[in-house]
Each structure stands twice: as structure tokens, then as C-alpha cells.
Amino acid sequence: MALYSDKVMDHFQNPRNVGKMDDADGIGEVGNARCGDIMRMYIKVDPESQTITDVKFNTFGCGSAIATSSMATELIKGKPISQALQLSNKAVVEALDGLPAYKLHCSVLAEEAVKAAVKDYYDKNGIAYGPELQSCDGDCESCGVEH
């Protein structure tokens, strides 16, 4: 059996939503304490519906980080923020038909970057949020979320 699923290879070789967003409403940057790789995610939010209308990402990470971030952006684009915050790295990995166990830590970057971008949007707009985001300081090891 191949090490990586067809979906992982597809999202690694043709990542969706890559790039920078100059007029982003929220920007999240997180680092993976396991490997030192970093990820930046940009979101555009419709304030009326609190929906993520656009999302982009850049990463200095491995192929698995690229594939999981690409899939994560597909899963949250057009979705309400409340739904995007429910996105777990496990759900992203499942949507990619799995990752080798030793690469699972790479998927944490995507989940944390989404949360950090939403937190940045909330901070910029004075919107209150719960403790699950308060602990998100860009260092995945300290986020307290079980991955």
C-alpha cells in the first residue's frame, strides 16, 4: 500500500487556496513545536452572517502540512465561523483518507492556524470568545486542545 493516499498526493501537488490575502479580516500564524515548521492562514469574513467567505494559506512546512492545510481551507470556505472552529485535525486527516502515524503532528498546524485566524478576527473586532481560543497563542503545544 502506498504511504500516502491519492487525496494527500493530490492536495500536496495541487494545493488549494495557496497565497497571501492583502485584505484579510483575520490572520493566524502558528508554529509546530515538533518540527519548527510554520503556517500562516488568512480569512475573509462576512460580518452579517459570520461566514468565512475566503481563505488562503502559506506554509513553510512539509508535504503533509501542505496537504492538510489545503484540505482544511476547502472544508472551512463558505462555512460559518462556528463550524470552522469545530474542525479538528482528525477530521482533516479523515477527509484526506489518512496520514502515516508519524506525520499526524503535521495536521495540527492547519487546525491551529484556523483557530488563530478566527481569534485574530475576533480580537480586531472586539468580539468575545471562549477559553478554547484564549489559549491559542500560536504555539500548538500550549493550546490545551487534545489532538
Interacting residue ranges for ligand FES, rule: CB under 6 A: 32, 35, 37, 61-62, 64-65, 106, 109
Question: Do residues 131 and 110 touch, judged by C-beta distance below 8 A?
Answer: no
Smaller CB separation from ligand FES, 25 or 112: 112
Smaller CB separation from ligand FES, 67 or 85: 67
Residue 68 beta carbon to ligand FES: minimum distance, rounded to whole angstroms: 8
Q: Is 67 exposed, middle or buried (0-12, 13-18, 19+ CB in 10 A)?
A: buried
Catalytic site includes residue 140: no
Catalytic site includes residue 143: no
Residue 93 beta carbon to ligand FES: minimum distance, rounded to whole angstroms: 12
Name, in order, each residue with C-beta under 8 angstroms of 29's C-beta and a sequence gap of 6 or more: 38, 39, 40, 41, 113, 116, 138
Positions marked active-site: 35, 106
